[in-house]
Amino acid sequence: MISENLLKTTQGVKWEKIGIDKRAGVLFPLFSVRSKKSIGVGDFEDLKLIIDFCVETGNSILQILPLNEMSYNFCPYDAISSFAIEPLYIYLPMDSDNIPGEIQTYTNFDIVKEEKTKKLKIDFESGTWDTNSEFQKFIEENSYWLYDFALYKTLKDFFKNKSWEQWDKEYIEKEPHTLNLFRKIHAKEIFFYIWVQWQIYKQLKEVKQYAEEKGVFVMGDIPILVSRDSADVWAWREFFNLEYASGAPPDMYSKIGQRWGMPTNNWDNIEKDNYRYIKEKLRYAENFYDIIRIDHVVGLFRIWSIPFNESLKNGGLKGFFIPQDENLWESHGRKLLKVMAENTNMLLCAEDLGVIPVFCPKVLEEFGIPGTDVFRWTKHWETTGKFFKPDEYRYTGISTLSTHDTSNWKSWWDNEAEKMEKKEIIEIFDIRKEIEKKADKKILKDALKYSFSTRSVFSIQSIFDLLGLSDILKGDSSIWRINTPGTISNKNWTITIPVYIENILENSVCKEIKELINKANRLCQ
């Protein structure tokens, strides 16, 4: 059987733990949910309610976007640390006149984070934590990154939130005497940031335990890049190529390509340190996740690199791949995936969308790493141009209708799908004779049924597609989008479901989703 082949791959032991039966999952961004107890944004206690939603709907995988502490733009893929978790999401019983009580379509993260930070500082001042043995153990186990991160955060405060590249020279260059003196003077502020990460650690560990009890696997997300202005880059300058900004060549997302801005990794120096930077990231993530998604996995093979001084208006047009020698790409990616696969107990999955060399999916399959197959792009491009049939999907894959970087299914149908695509879909689904300009619940349900019916071992759908079966998401379908790549907007990464998660749990849509999953033989609970 094809499924049993997974047990023979590099990830065989992990597949034994997860199981090789087909599963269903939901992509549910934490910032998109509100409960009756959360303040301004979804929090770690709300993750338990999302896990309840998984149980009610028959989803045995909960996929969330990166939870790392974010930069000023609150993009989860532009984090200020590969380790530290965003305190915005911490659960805090609190009242605030500054945070709107009603659900907003788009979240104002600044206000919420400011208010929660105030409350955390009050709690910190009122406690005695320095003698707590569990706290001390947490500090010792995470000394690789924790001290540098807390020092970086305190320095950011000291320099009025300026980028580390704008600090005084001795702090940029990490002059030992200067930093030691700063640590003594600001010991309490540094200790505060360490304590905050401990509070987060405890809450997220509790979520992981809750998920295990409910039979739900939590899938985290590990970006291969980090913000230029981050604790990682400041502390481990040698691991990054600051002369380049990462991005992507022109593809289905953008005609001029993309410039993300994060520096590319200096893999030679990371290798000289025996990949400890990568190993430590995976080790810490294991505390919270069963499965980890490698974002932009093709970047491990070769990364689109744009000279840092290149004009921003050119997007990703003036970039090139590193390594520049195409003959090195496959071996480069294979080596890095081997390091990752051999140094974590989490099952690795991957996002392999965009311009992908032919060997990338081949290597993923060899390692037993599921790639991503999005319905609208899963076609026989070089021959008929027709959509894949369910049995033509990769078994070692994740089938889905939408991702966090695309429109939802209804919006794609309403605004992007070509007439010939709609015609073909109608024939595939055998649902009607006339092409509808606007997607209705029937065609969305058929699309979900189709994606669940593929031979992919996992079928993970966006919460915004699943809720499209209900009356919860009203108005223009294009509103319900998580991110538009290549754009800077306060509508990116801030979209919020307009009802409480408690109301969703009581909605008949849960039963409808479970029936779809059950009929597709993906009910694993």
Question: Which residues does residue 248 pair with via DSSP β-bridges, in sequence order?
Answer: 258
Give me the pLDDT at residue 402, please: 98
Asked whether the predicted pLDDT for residue 465 surpasses 80, the reply is: yes
Most confident by average pLDDT, 89-93, 127-131, 354-358: 89-93
Number of residues written out for the chain: 525
**Distance from C-alpha of 48 to C-alpha of 30, rounded to nearest angstrom:** 11
Give me the pLDDT at residue 437, please: 83
Q: Would you kindly state where each structural domain of the chain is located, as residue ranges?
A: 236-349
What is the pTM (predicted TM-score) of this model? Answer: 0.96
29 contact partners, CB below 8 Å, separation of at least 6: 42, 64, 65, 404, 463, 482, 493
Q: Of the candidates 280, 334, 242, 23, which has an alpha carbon nearest to the alpha carbon of residue 143?
A: 280
Q: Of the candidates 105, 97, 94, 77, which has an alpha carbon nearest to the alpha carbon of residue 43?
A: 94
Q: Backbone phi, then psi, for 320, in 5-degree steps?
A: -155, 165
List pLDDT tens digits, range 387-417: 999 999 999 999 999 999 999 999 999 999 9
487 contact partners, CB below 8 Å, separation of at least 6: none
Give me the pLDDT at residue 525, please: 63
DSSP state of 389: P
209 contact partners, CB below 8 Å, separation of at least 6: none
CA 25 to chain centre: 14
Give me the pLDDT at residue 432, please: 65
Give me the pLDDT at residue 395, please: 96
Give me the pLDDT at residue 254, please: 81
List pLDDT tens digits, range 280-304: 999 999 999 999 999 999 999 999 9
List pLDDT tens digits, range 122-146: 999 987 666 688 999 999 999 999 9
Question: Which residues does residue 380 pair with via DSSP β-bridges, in sequence order?
Answer: none
pLDDT-based confidence at 524, cuts 50/70/90? confident
DSSP 324-378: S-GGGHHHHHHHHHHHHHHT-SSEEEE---SS--THHHHHHHHHT--EEEEGGG-
Give me the pLDDT at residue 439, please: 92
User: What is the four-CA torsion angle of 264, 266, 267, 273, rounded to 10 degrees?
Assistant: -140
DSSP state of 89: G
**Three-state DSSP class for 298?**
helix
Weakest mean pLDDT among 33-42, 289-298, 436-445: 436-445
pLDDT-based confidence at 244, cuts 50/70/90? very high
User: What radius of gyration do the chain's Cα atoms show?
Assistant: 23
DSSP 225-247: ---SSSHHHHHTGGGEETTEEEE
Give me the pLDDT at residue 451, please: 98
User: What is the four-CA torsion angle of 279, 282, 287, 288, rounded to 10 degrees?
Assistant: 170
Query: Looking up tokens 């295990």, which residue turns up?
Result: 212
Asked whether the predicted pLDDT for residue 328 surpasses 90, the reply is: yes
Weakest mean pLDDT among 94-103, 162-171, 280-289: 94-103
Amino acid at 294: I
pLDDT-based confidence at 485, cuts 50/70/90? confident
Query: Looking up tokens 């500090």, which residue turns up?
Result: 139
Residue 140's region, left for phi above 0, alpha for psi from -120 to 50, else beta, is: alpha
**Distance from C-alpha of 355 to C-alpha of 323, rounded to nearest angstrom:** 16
* CB 18, CB 6: distance < 8 Å: no
